[in-house]
Amino acid sequence: MRRPRLLYVPFWATYLFLYAPIAVLVFMSFNSGDSPYSFEGFSLKWYGELAGNAEIRHGLVNTLVVALGSTILATVLGTLLAVGMARHSRSKLLDAVSVLPAVLPDLVLAIGLLVFYGMIKMTLGLHSVLLAHTVFGMAFVAAVVRTRLTHADTSLEEASRDLGAGPVTTFLRITLPQLTPGIAAGALLAFTLSVDEFVIAFFTAAPTEPTLPIVIYSMVRFGVTPEINALATLLLAVSFTVVIVAQRMTRLTESLS
């Protein structure tokens, strides 16, 4: 039986609602005129402007430093946290608390970190944002890795011990490879979350070291320009790529394990 066409209407309406703003944004980034609202002709001029904007380049570099650094830290710490939780702790409370930073309102985390940095008399800079992003990134990594660990077979680790491998070798050669898809997924998650994180960065960055979202925010305050559209389009391209790569990678590692 054919389904009535009418049933598809809500589906397409939802899609339109989700993607229309993005489509408009991408489209307008190729505008040759100065207005972000009326299209005057196709051009790549705003992408050129973007490349020449020192403030944006500075923000981009800062964001990449923060994202890469915090991702690496969060991945290592989050993985260890997950393994420790799963293998060496029976406390349900500790378990719940370990993922708290992932669900806490950004504002709470931001204020908390600011107060903490003040208390230990740490100067703000890029490192303070990096550490802040590590905190919530780590919670996400731990949560993702943790779900893989609970499905993992402990008898593999025992088999490794049985065959003469000590705890460290067993962790590196058996536990870790089992967790790779989870770790990769967690790392990508931490990275993408860090790249466009605004609230925490805004609170914990030094005024001289803004990240990209902060730079964009300060530009938008004087009105949206097609330059911003071009920047957003580039960011969109990057996150699409990351998501696709992530899917490919997890499928790849899953087919291997």
Partner 1 sequence: MLQITGVSRRFGDVTALADVSLEIRQGEFFALLGPSGCGKTTLLRILAGFESPDSGAVTLDGEDLLGRPAHRRPVNLMFQSYALFPHMTVAKNVAYGLEREKLPKAEVRSRVAEVLEKVGLTSMAGRRPQQLSGGQRQRVALARAIVKRPRLLLLDEPLSALDKKVRAEMQLELKRLQHEVGITFVVVTHDQEEAMSLADRIAVFSAGQVEQVDAPVALYERPRTPFVAGFVGANNLFSGRACSVGLAADGLGVLPGSSDLPDGTPALLAVRPERLRLDGGQNGEGVLKGEVADVSFYGGVSHVSVTVPGRAEPVLAATQGATPIRAGARVSLSWAAGDGVLVPQ
Task: Give how far Cα 247 sits from Cα of 149, 193, 230, 242, Å.
Answer: 20, 17, 26, 9
**Nearest distance from residue 160's CB to partner 1, in Å?**
7
Between residues 178 and 239, which has the closer beta carbon with respect to partner 1?
178
Between residues 160 and 194, which has the closer beta carbon with respect to partner 1?
160
Binding footprint of partner 1 on the chain (CB under 8 A): 153, 155-156, 158-166, 169, 173-174, 177-178, 256-257
Dist. CA 17–CA 40, nearest whole Å: 25
Task: Give how far Cα 191 sits from Cα of 4, 71, 131, 137, 198, Å.
Answer: 43, 6, 13, 8, 14
**Nearest distance from residue 52's CB to partner 1, in Å?**
48
Between residues 55 and 153, which has the closer beta carbon with respect to partner 1?
153
Both structure tokens of 127: 């490192």
Between residues 162 and 208, which has the closer beta carbon with respect to partner 1?
162
C-beta of residue 218 within 8 angstroms of C-beta of residue 168: no
**Nearest distance from residue 154's CB to partner 1, in Å?**
9
**Nearest distance from residue 148's CB to partner 1, in Å?**
13
**Which one, of 125, 124, 131, lies nearest residue 109 by Cα?**
131
**Nearest distance from residue 169's CB to partner 1, in Å?**
7
* Bridge partners, 31 (sequence order): 42
Type of residue at 206: A
Between residues 152 and 231, which has the closer beta carbon with respect to partner 1?
152
Dihedral over Cα of 35, 40, 42, 44: its sign: negative
**Nearest distance from residue 185's CB to partner 1, in Å?**
17
Between residues 64 and 165, which has the closer beta carbon with respect to partner 1?
165
Between residues 18 and 156, which has the closer beta carbon with respect to partner 1?
156
**Nearest distance from residue 155's CB to partner 1, in Å?**
4
Three-state DSSP class for 43?
coil
Three-state DSSP class for 42?
strand
**Which one, of 193, 183, 188, 194, lies nearest residue 244 by Cα?**
188
